[in-house]
Amino acid sequence: MISPVMQQDAINRKAWRSWGARRWFRILSDWTDPGEAAAVASVADMVRDEPILDVGVGGGRTVPLLRRVSDDYQAIDYMQEMVDLCSRNHPDVRVRQMDARDLSAYADNSFGLIVFSFNGIDAVDYPGRQAILREFARVLRPGGRLIFSSHNMEGPSYRETLTRFLQVPRWSNNPLRFGFNVARIVVNLPLAAINYRRNSRLNHEFDGYAVRVCAAHKFGIVIVYTELEHQRRELAEFGFETDAVYGNLDDQPLAAGQPLHDVMWFHFVARKP
Ligand SMILES: C[S@@+](CC[C@H](N)C(=O)[O-])C[C@H]1O[C@@H](n2cnc3c(N)ncnc32)[C@H](O)[C@@H]1O
C-alpha cells in the first residue's frame, strides 16, 4: 500500500505538472498579496546584497521581486518542468532542480535570506516540512532571515467544499464570453468533484495542524494547514525566532489576539539567531 506521505507528494506533483498550473505559473509576476510584499520589505535592508535562496520558484514570479533585494540570487524547484519554465522566463538566473528536503548541495551558513513563497511548503508532507525547516536552519547564516507562507487552519480555505464550484455562470452581453463562463463551470465541476472525493481520503486533523484537500487546482492538491501558534512553536523547535507574521489581507503584522478567521494564509518572517 502507498503511504499517505507518498500519495500527497504524487498528487501535488501531478497538479503542478498540469497544463493549467504551468500556464498560471508562467504568467504570474506580482506579489501574491500585501502581506507578502510587507514581509519581504521588513527584511530587505537586513539582508541587502546577501545570497538569496528562492525555494520552489515555479515559473519565477519572485525572481524580479527578490532581485531588488540582492542580485546574488539563486533558485531551486524539485520539478524539472518548473526549472525549465523559470529558466525560459528568466534566462539570466541560476535555477537548479533540487528537493528542499535535501539541501546537501549547500554548505552550512550559505544564505542571508531563504524564501519559500506562495504556500509551497504546504504541499510537502509533514515529515518533509520538518526536514525542510531543519535544512533551512542549517544553510541560513546566523542572523539570516527565512520567509515562507502557509495556509491558516482557521481560515476560509480550510472550510471550502465543493459548493465553491457550484456557481451561477457570470452574465456577459458578449455571447462568446458568456458561453466561456458556462463552459468553465461545466468542465470544472465534475473534475473538482472527482478530485475532491479522491483526495479527501487523505484529510486528517492533528494537534495544531491538518492535512486536507485544497480547492486550488480544482481540489487537485493536498496540503498542510497550520495554526499560527503551532507554527511559531515549530519554528522555535528548529532554532528560529519568529520576528513577525503577516496575513494575506494587509501589510500590517498580525497582532496578538487578532481574529484570524478571514486570513487565508500567513507569511512567517523568522531569524536564525
Ligand atoms: C505554489 S507553487 C509557487 C511557485 C512560486 N514560488 C510562486 O510563488 O509563484 C509551489 C512550488 O513549489 C515547488 N515545490 C514543492 N515542493 C517542493 C520541494 N520539496 N522542493 C522544492 N520545490 C518544491 C513546486 O514544484 C512548485 O513549483
For 251, the domain range is 4-151+227-271
Q: Is the CB of 95 under 6 A from ligand 1?
A: no
Q: Is the CB of 28 under 6 A from ligand 1?
A: yes
Q: Is residue 193 part of a domain?
A: no
Q: Is residue 187 part of a domain?
A: no
Q: Identify the CA nearest to 209 among candidates 100, 116, 129.
A: 129
Q: Which of 9, 26, 82 to mutate to test the pocket of ligand 1 (most atoms within 8 A of CB)?
A: 82
pTM of the model: 0.93
- pLDDT per residue over 207-238, tens digit each? 999 999 999 999 999 999 999 999 999 999 99
In the predicted model, is pLDDT for residue 173 greater than 70?
yes
Q: Is residue 161 part of a domain?
A: no
Q: Is residue 206 part of a domain?
A: no
Mean pLDDT across the chain:
94
- Whole-number Å distance, alpha carbon 215 to ligand 1 midpoint, is 17
Q: Is residue 172 part of a domain?
A: no
Q: Is residue 56 part of a domain?
A: yes
Q: Is residue 196 part of a domain?
A: no
Q: Is residue 39 part of a domain?
A: yes
- pLDDT per residue over 230-263, tens digit each? 999 999 999 999 999 999 999 999 999 999 999 9
The CATH number given to whatever domain includes residue 17 is 3.40.50.150
Number of domains forming the structure of the chain: 1
Q: Identify the CA nearest to 200 among candidates 162, 169, 152.
A: 162
Looking at residue 2, its pLDDT comes to 62
Looking at residue 138, its pLDDT comes to 98
Looking at residue 261, its pLDDT comes to 97
Residue 40 sits at the vertex; the CA angle it makes with 91 and 88, to the nearest 5 degrees, is 15
Distance, CA of 185 to chain centre: 26
CB 52 within 8 A of CB 112: yes
Q: Which of 40, 54, 78 to mutate to test the pocket of ligand 1 (most atoms within 8 A of CB)?
A: 78
Q: What distances in angstroms separate CA 229 from CA 67, 149, 207, one per listed residue?
A: 31, 14, 11
Q: Is the CB of 150 under 6 A from ligand 1?
A: no
- pLDDT per residue over 134-162, tens digit each? 999 999 999 999 999 999 999 999 999 98
Query: Which residue's alpha carbon is nearest to atom 4 within ligand 1?
Result: 58
Give the number of the atom of ligand 1 that is nearest the alpha carbon of residue 128: 19
